[in-house]
Each structure stands twice: as C-alpha cells, then as structure tokens.
Structure 1
Amino acid sequence: MNQRANDPIILKIHNDDNVAIVANDGGLPSGTVIKPGLVLQDGVPQGHKFTLVPVAQGEAVVRYGVAIGYATENLTTGCWVKDSLMSMPSPPELERLPSGGRCRGIPAPLSGYTFEGYRNTDGSVGTRNILAISTTVQCVAGVVEHALSRIRSELLPLYPHVDDVVAIEHTYGCGVAIDAPGADIPIRTLRNIVLNPNFGGEVLLISLGCEKLQPDRLLPAGAIPVASDSRVVLQDDCHIGFEAMIEHILLLAREKLERLNRRRRVTCPASDLVVGVQCGGSDAFSGITANPAVGYVSDLIVRSGGTVMFSEVTEVRDGIAQLLARAATPEVAQALRHEMAWYDTYLQRGGVDRSANTTPGNKKGGLNNIVEKAMGSIVKSGVSDIVGVVSPGEKVTVRGLNYTATPASDFICGTLQMAAGMNIHVFTTGRGTPYGLAAVPVVKVATRSDLARRWHDLMDVNAGTIATGEKTVEEVGWEMFHFLLDVASGRRKTWAEHWKIHNALALFNPAPVT
C-alpha cells in the first residue's frame, strides 16, 4: 500500500451513508483535509464518525445504509458525530415485518477440506479430548477445585493423549426457584454442556446431596449417557472426611482418563465443525474488518456442510428484518420472531430496553448506540440462509447456519454456545479482551492492526489489515478458515490455550432466586 503515514484513511460502508469513520491510528486532527471541500471541523478519534454532508436536525444519520440515529441539532460537514448529537431509532415492530421464509437455495458446495478430530459414539466430533467434571451446586466448588489440582498433578501426566480436565462449575443449584418459569434454561444448559463434543462422553458428576438441583434432575437416567457409577455425592455416609471425598473423585477420574487416553484423532470432513461466532469489546471497526471476515468464514463452513451459530439477541434485534429475509422456511422466521419477542418481554420485566447493551468501551471505540452496533454484529453470520433457531440452553440439531438465542454477555453467550454443541469458537474484538474458554479453543480476531500489534500474544488473527487495504475480506477469511482447521486438528494452539486463559462459565437464569 503506497499511502503515506499521515494520509487520512477514511472508511465508508454504503453508498447511501452520510457519515464515514476515521481509520488512522490516533485519529485525525481538526482541519484535516479529507478531500477538496471536505475538512474536519473537529478532531476525530480513531473509529469515530464524521459527517460527509450537512445533516439537518431530525434527519437520519446513515451508516451501513440504514438510519442508526437522528441528529439532535444541525450538523455541518466534517462534524464529529458524538453520542450527544444523535437520538436512537425505535426498535423494529416484530408483527409488522415481512414473514420471511424465502430460501435462496444451497450455495456452491465446498469439498476437500478436513481436520483431525475425535469422533464420538453419538456422531459428533471433538476438537479436544477433555475429562469434564460436572457439578449440581456451587457448594462443591472448593472440593472440586482441590480434586482438579490433584488430577492435573498426579494423573494427567500418566495419560498423554488427554488434553485437560475441566470443571463445569456454576453458582446455580440451590437457593433458587427451581420450578419457576425460566428455571428450565439453566438446568438444560448444564445438561447439554455435558454432551459437548470435546468431552467425549466421559463425565463425572459431583453433588452435595441436599441441593434443589438433584443429580437425577440434572442428568436423568437413560436420557443422558452419564452412568450412575460416575457420580459422587459428598454427603453420602461412605465419605469419612475430606480425603475420602477426594480419593473417590480421583478413583473415578482414573477410570475415565484410561478410556479417554485410548482415543486418537482421525481425519474428519470440515462438515463436522460446529463453530460458535461472537464479538466482545466491539468497536466501529468490528463491522468493517473482523466481523465481515468471520462472515466469510461462516459461509465457507456452511458450504463445507458444517454448522455455524451466531447469537446475542440485543445485537441482532435492530437487524431482525435482514435476518427474517434470510430465513430458510416460514417456521424459522417465526422462531426468530419468537426469540426476539421473548427477550423484549424479559428486558421489560427488568425495567430496561436494548439500549442498555452498549458499553463505555463500545462508545469509546466509535459505536454510538445499539443500532449501529447491531448492524456491524450481524455480518458475522455471512450471507447464508438461516436454517435453524436454538432457544437458550438447547442443542443445535440441524447443520448449516443457526441462530442461537443468547444474551449479549460474552460469558453467558459462550456458555450457551457450548451447551448448543460448538467444538470451536471464534471471537472478534476491537477494544481487546483476554476472554477464553477451558473446554473449547477460542480463536481471537483483532479488528484493528494497532490492537494486534500491542496484544501480539493474545490475538490469533489480525483483521485490521482490511481497513488499511493490505488484505481483502476474502483473503483474511481464507487465512482464518485454514487457521480454524489447524486449531481444530490440534496442530496449533490459540493464544488463550497457550496462556491457559479461561473465563468462568456463566449461566443464564431468568427465574427468581429465593
């Protein structure tokens, strides 16, 4: 790229946009000449918007070809569009939107791409070989933590083909209204996490004994493949002291590790990938660089016959009309409406609306409101038809592009996508976050080259080269696709895996706590 360091780098998305963003590191000062007749009236930070033409009070501020807000006063050309200069549009009324269900057909298939994975008896494929220890209640966390430490130090070195041991810990299980409406969500989430492909069906269940979430309710006999002899109840009379509890857990763990250690990677088609895509610490570049590149990868995976899930209700709510137009069937369209309406009601009960989503970091990165954020968020889904909708805590059941309804919280979204069955995760960020999951490899994608340089040992892919014109969306997309295959095969580790950066799982519990 033959651009001088101080030359303005300006990004406009759609022909109809009346604003553009500044891509230069450090932003641009007041008086910068963008082109003849267009001079910045204010200093504009990197990622922030300025007006390309005058925008009258009450007129739409347009980015991505849609109204992301309305000017609260007359804006001159070259004006920095701050939060205070825009009011937010009303959300789309679900009942007035088109019904959708217009399937555009199957895209050109993509064949010949494989990875080395662990095939499970239920047909799913793991990208890692992990022993899971599930829990029914937070009360057992200290015991499980002690057992984990001993398993890692004493047992794991004996089983070189096992990647790790992971506790499925949480703050649920007791002191909750377990039969209230909405309580089924955290319970089925925990139940389905046990079935994640990366656990290979070898799971221990640790309970206290007196909690509301009893083992048989969490993992019903016959319905979930966790044998009764894989359960430890700490209050059982056989446990005489703390050491007896730990030794019981280690005994069962050794049996599980023996079986897991006999597993080997086999060549699997890319159609066995189940990829969760998410963004966190988003900025104005998210919808220009990283998310479009992830969208390109999403389409490649769908064309390969694989499964992709995108999520975050409040971050698609304002783009629901675009999603309805991509619904493969009327049933999928109706399911999308249902999930949006359910979440609208959930937010109303809490006395907030979708505008509560946008964070101070989002705004510092140039995203004025949730409408603008949503337009950049949904592009992670690519352009494929949406073939399935997954309610919170449920498992994905159909291959292709699925909408998995979750809150936008990074940690809750990741937990719910684990329950849905993802075996690899793609996470884009503009502000930067050390987010990671213990059970699923997380590929981190930087929206800006400055972030990729500063966090060189935390970011796996730099999509910032798209903003500077060094690479195209397609080039970064293919780079990421091959990186995913390598990570899924165990040939490469993500930085989060390298540093063992793991966030705690976070359950979505809309029911009351007693």
Structure 2
Amino acid sequence: MLSDLEAPPRPVGDAPRTIRVHPDDNVAIVVNAFGLPAGTVFPDGLTLTEFVPQGHKVALVDVKRGGHVVRYGEVVGIALRDIARGSWVEESCVETPVAPALDALEKCTRVPAALPPLDGYTFEGFRNPDGSVGTKNILAISTSVQCVTGTLDVAIRRIKQELLPRYPNVDDVIGLTHAYGCGVAINAPEAVIPIRTLQSLAQNPNFGGEVMVVGLGCEKLVSERLVPGRQGTEEDPANVVRLQDERHEGFGSMIDSIMAMAEARLQVLNRRTRETCPASDLVVGLQCGGSDAFSGVTANPALGFAADLLVRCGATVLFSEVTEVRDAIHLLTPRAATPEVADALIREMAWYDDYLEKGGADRRANPSPGNKRGGLNNIVEKALGSVAKSGTSAIAGVLAPGERVRERGLIFAATPASDFVCGTLQLASGITLQVFSTGRGTPYGLAQAPVIKVATRSELARRWSDLIDLDAGRVATGEATIEEMGWELFRLILDVASGCKQPWSDRWGLYNDLTLFNPAPIT
C-alpha cells in the first residue's frame, strides 16, 4: 500500500476529479493520473483522509462494518471494517459478495424495445460463396495435431517467400496451429469443445471457404474431421496433406505437397476483391483485457454504444467471458429476447460454475493482480464493468464454446476470460473484426482478424501511442461523451473492416497464438 509520502506530486492545474457512476453509489473513483494525496478537498467538501491512487475508490459516506459498498448501483463489496468518508476503499476493506443464484433470475422481464434502424452504412468486404463477408482475404491452413506444426511453419515461410507475391489480392497465409489432436481423450464428452472450435475456425469468413488441413496420419483427431462436410477420405484426401502417406519421399516431398495444395487455393482467393457490403454483414467481437476501474466507465460503455449502433444496422455483435459476466447475470437474463435465450445464458453460467468447482477454483480467482492495481477489488466490480460492452440491445442468442454464430443481433458467446482463449473461440464463432478494450495495457493482436484496441485511460493511450487505436480516456476527463466515443468507434470499425485503416497490431504484424479451450482429459 502506498503511503502519503509516496504519492507523486500532482501537476499544477490538475483539479481533483472523481467519477461516480450511479446516484446510489457510495464510492467514486479518482480520475487524476497520479492519484490524490491526503487533504485533497473536492468542490462538494469531500476531503481525502489518505492517498488514493488513480482509478481506486474513495468512500463518499461512512460505511459501517458489514455495510454495502455500492458501485454501478450494485453491491460490489461487504465492508470488513468501518470505512470513513474520504478514505481509500482498497481490497482489504471489502469481502466479495455472493454470486446471484441461477435458479431465481428474472427472465425476459425487461426486454429492450428495438432501437430505430440505421440504414445506409456500408463497408468494403470480401463476399464469400455462402453469403458471409470477410474483412481480410487470408489462406488459413489448419492442423489436425500439434506434431505437424514445425513442418507447417517451414512450408508457410516458403509459401510467403515464393508463392504469395504472385497473388497480390491475398493478404496473408497463416497456420491454425494448436496443442491438440493426440494424447487426448478424443471421445470424452467435453472433447466436443476443442474439436468443434477447430472445425469452426476453418470456416471463418476471412478465409474465403478455402479449407486446407495438414495432418500426420496416426493422430486421434483424423484430418477429415476438420473439413466441412467431411469431404475427402483416406484414399482421396481432397483438402488434406497427410505427412505419413507413403507417397512422400522425405521432408522435401511433404513441403512440396503443402505448397502445391496451398497454391491451388491461393489462385481461388486471389480472385476475391472488395465490394461494397451493408454494415449488416459485419460480425464483430468485443473483448477486454488488462482491465481497470475505468473500463466500466469509459471504454466499455463506448463499446456498448457502438454495439447498439451495429445492431441497429442489422449486424452481429458478440460479447463473451463467462467469469466476467457471471456476477452481472441478473442484469442480462431480463434482457434476453426469449425464455430460451435466458435459459441458455443460465446454462452456460451453470456449466462454468461446475467446471471451476471440479478444478478446485471459483470465480474469485479472477481478477488478476494487475486488475487490482488498476482499482478493481474483486470479480463483482470487474463483471459489472465488463458487461457494459453489451450496450442496451436485447440479447438475441447464446453460443456454447466454439459454436458458429447463427442469429444476427447481440449474441453472448460463452468463453473463458483468458484473452487468447476468448479470441480463439470468438474467431471460431465467426467474428471478422474484434474490438479490444484495455486499461493496464496488453500488446494483443490476431492474425486472423483485425483488432481495434481501445484505451480506458488517456495516460495509457499517450504512453502506448503506437499500440492503442482509440483513446476512450477522454470520457473520464470530460473531453468527450460516451455517445461521441461510440460513434467514433463505430466509424473506425467500418474503416478498418474496409481496409482503409490498419489497426496498430496489423501495422506491426503483432499476433498472438491461438489457444484452444480443452476441458476434456489428456490421456
């Protein structure tokens, strides 16, 4: 804990400022970049009794031991001791409240009315034979087992050097590699999740429907299972290069086979060109990582406003991260469009509760130490800020992990909260662009889809000016409203989807590995 003597000097003219989210809140967060020292007096007469770091909570009233600490109009903690007005409400002061009971939730009681449609918004995308539209034109090569990853890496290096320059309309060649496929309980009930994820990944709209698989030959996850419609057989592999096939004489033969199959697909993909498409063809994923106390008051509400605009255009928007939804589920099931959607939300929460319990953990393992340094005391506070990404639209559907999206509108795609696992599962569900909010900062990117990174604080946006694409911290300083930031993000989404602007991760070629979610046993 910082002492008053450790509080850095406040810049001259930097007036003390806090944000109180809801009229019922009895805490507010400090906005000032370096925190505020003891003795700071606010215009309403509130006086700090101790140093409070940026983003951390200050008590607006006296809270007795056992009393409720309220933020977002919701109970985010139970006071473990008396908390005086003007003091720092830090982690040791509060106990995490119990999660909402899943068997007593309201369902469809506050379904939002449809907002007025937004017509006329378009982007330049790559239309596929199945009607879906990509924002990139990529040859993606799937693998059926981790054993072939090194070989595929060699092949892709050669494809990029020798073949890709001949096909200028193709953006990239990537491998959909993973640590799965053998040494696993392939028929275990939960194995459906990683297998479904790999099947769905290959069909992402950014890949143009040109599926290609590299396998070994002895793995449990046979290559043909990753080809849509199970095309091909062992005798006629069609879309599969199998390294153990007797036709291969040495390593060079394997590489030549991969390159020949890749070139056939590059020829098809090179005929794809951008065309004007309605915004309704977009499938956008929303995610947050390295969150802080500003996430729920700047970036995530802006994401939510942009999500509402996209839904008004007829587009599809996915929000995710079960553990960062679980403690706010009572705010979501009333917004479910149908009882079936509400039941599906509850089903995914219950599944994850059971999954954590079997692993000897619970939701309190989230947040991370960095989240706490950013002012988030516990998972309840983090979840309430996280669900702000969902905006105000009715929830139209729910996806189990790895399922492909079917409905348009606002969709909950059940995923773990891990940035990389969530990103992989959203890609499998069919996102063609992702918006990623961060407060502490994370150099995150996906090769498979453009990622727009939004900072919750202007300090981060300035410090990481060549990683952050949009500064939502202007909401905290009063330079912009949530609505203005939402519209700015909406227009940026259309520009990035059209290829007119590149997010920083694409400019740097900054891409993280795919990470499968595998709750099934490894044998």
Displacement after TM superposition at 1:36 (Å): 5.1
Displacement after TM superposition at 1:229 (Å): 2.2
Displacement after TM superposition at 1:154 (Å): 1.0
1:67 maps to what in 2? Answer: 75
Gap runs ≥5 in structure 2: 1-10
How far apart, CA to CA, are the structure 2 residues paired with 1:39 and 1:176? 59
Does structure 1 residue 189 correspond to structure 2 residue 189? no
2:270 maps to what in 1? Answer: 261
Determine which of 368, 373, 378 is the counterpart of 2:382. Answer: 373
1:395 maps to what in 2? Answer: 404
How far apart, CA to CA, are the structure 1 residues paired with 2:186 and 2:48? 58
1:211 maps to what in 2? Answer: 219
* Counterpart mapping for 1:70-469 below 5 A: 70-100=78-108, 102-219=110-227, 221-222=229-230, 228-469=237-478
- SS at structure 2 position matched to 1:176: coil
Pair 250,11 (structure 1): closer, same or farther in 2 beyond 3 Å: same
Displacement after TM superposition at 1:221 (Å): 4.3
Pair 98,406 (structure 1): closer, same or farther in 2 beyond 3 Å: same
How far apart, CA to CA, are the structure 2 residues paired with 1:487 and 1:36? 44
Displacement after TM superposition at 1:204 (Å): 1.5
- SS at structure 2 position matched to 1:39: coil
Q: Deviations over 1:338-386 (max 9, x none)?
A: 1111110000000111111100000000000000000000010100000
How far apart, CA to CA, are the structure 1 residues paired with 2:228 and 2:465? 45
- SS at structure 2 position matched to 1:115: strand
Pair 386,4 (structure 1): closer, same or farther in 2 beyond 3 Å: farther
Pair 221,304 (structure 1): closer, same or farther in 2 beyond 3 Å: closer
Say if 1:189 and 1:392, in contact at 8 Å, map to a contact too. yes
**Alpha-carbon RMSD:** 1.4
What amino acid is aligned across from residue 125 of structure 1 in structure 2? Answer: V
Displacement after TM superposition at 1:102 (Å): 5.0
How far apart, CA to CA, are the structure 2 residues paired with 1:132 and 1:168? 6
What amino acid is aligned across from residue 340 of structure 2 in structure 1? Answer: E
Say if 1:286 and 1:377, in contact at 8 Å, map to a contact too. yes
What amino acid is aligned across from residue 204 of structure 1 in structure 2? Answer: M
- SS at structure 1 position matched to 2:505: helix
1:31 maps to what in 2? Answer: 39
How far apart, CA to CA, are the structure 2 residues paired with 1:36 and 1:108? 39
Pair 327,221 (structure 1): closer, same or farther in 2 beyond 3 Å: closer
How far apart, CA to CA, are the structure 2 residues paired with 1:448 and 1:58? 32
Q: Deviations over 1:119-173 (max 9, x none)?
A: 0011100000000000000000100000111111111111110000010000000
Displacement after TM superposition at 1:9 (Å): 1.5
Gap runs ≥5 in structure 1: none
Q: Deviations over 1:40-87 (max 9, x none)?
A: 111111100010110100000000001000110001111101110000
How far apart, CA to CA, are the structure 2 residues paired with 1:396 and 1:384? 17
What amino acid is aligned across from residue 175 of structure 1 in structure 2? Answer: G
- SS at structure 1 position matched to 2:382: helix
Displacement after TM superposition at 1:203 (Å): 2.3
Relative to the length of structure 1, the TM-score reads 0.98
Displacement after TM superposition at 1:5 (Å): 3.1
- SS at structure 2 position matched to 1:325: helix
How far apart, CA to CA, are the structure 2 residues paired with 1:426 and 1:187? 26
1:49 maps to what in 2? Answer: 57
- SS at structure 2 position matched to 1:43: coil
Say if 1:102 and 1:329, in contact at 8 Å, map to a contact too. no
How far apart, CA to CA, are the structure 2 residues paired with 1:184 and 1:143? 26
Say if 1:174 and 1:213, in contact at 8 Å, map to a contact too. yes
How far apart, CA to CA, are the structure 1 residues paired with 2:67 and 2:325? 24
- SS at structure 1 position matched to 2:189: coil
How far apart, CA to CA, are the structure 1 residues paired with 2:374 and 2:468? 18
- SS at structure 1 position matched to 2:42: strand
Pair 28,421 (structure 1): closer, same or farther in 2 beyond 3 Å: same
How far apart, CA to CA, are the structure 2 residues paired with 1:330 and 1:351? 32
What amino acid is aligned across from residue 18 of structure 2 in structure 1? Answer: I
- SS at structure 2 position matched to 1:183: helix
Does structure 1 residue 58 correspond to structure 2 residue 74? no
What amino acid is aligned across from residue 320 of structure 1 in structure 2? Answer: I
Say if 1:101 and 1:328, in contact at 8 Å, map to a contact too. no
2:482 maps to what in 1? Answer: 473
Determine which of 13, 18, 21 is the counterpart of 1:10. Answer: 18
How far apart, CA to CA, are the structure 2 residues paired with 1:346 and 1:73? 33
Pair 304,431 (structure 1): closer, same or farther in 2 beyond 3 Å: same
- SS at structure 2 position matched to 1:229: coil
What amino acid is aligned across from residue 521 of structure 2 in structure 1? Answer: P
How far apart, CA to CA, are the structure 2 residues paired with 1:367 and 1:415? 26
How far apart, CA to CA, are the structure 1 residues paired with 2:111 and 2:396? 9
Does structure 1 residue 494 correspond to structure 2 residue 516? no
Q: Deviations over 1:312-341 (max 9, x none)?
A: 001010111110010000110111111111
Say if 1:137 and 1:213, in contact at 8 Å, map to a contact too. yes
How far apart, CA to CA, are the structure 2 residues paired with 1:41 and 1:456? 35
Pair 36,98 (structure 1): closer, same or farther in 2 beyond 3 Å: closer
What amino acid is aligned across from residue 230 of structure 1 in structure 2? Answer: N
How far apart, CA to CA, are the structure 1 residues paired with 2:479 and 2:80? 37
Q: Deviations over 1:185-243 (max 9, x none)?
A: 0000000000100000112200000001001233364579xx94221000001111111
Q: Percent identity?
A: 60
How far apart, CA to CA, are the structure 1 residues paired with 2:68 and 2:43? 23
- SS at structure 2 position matched to 1:154: helix
What amino acid is aligned across from residue 214 of structure 2 in structure 1? Answer: I
What amino acid is aligned across from residue 463 of structure 2 in structure 1? Answer: R
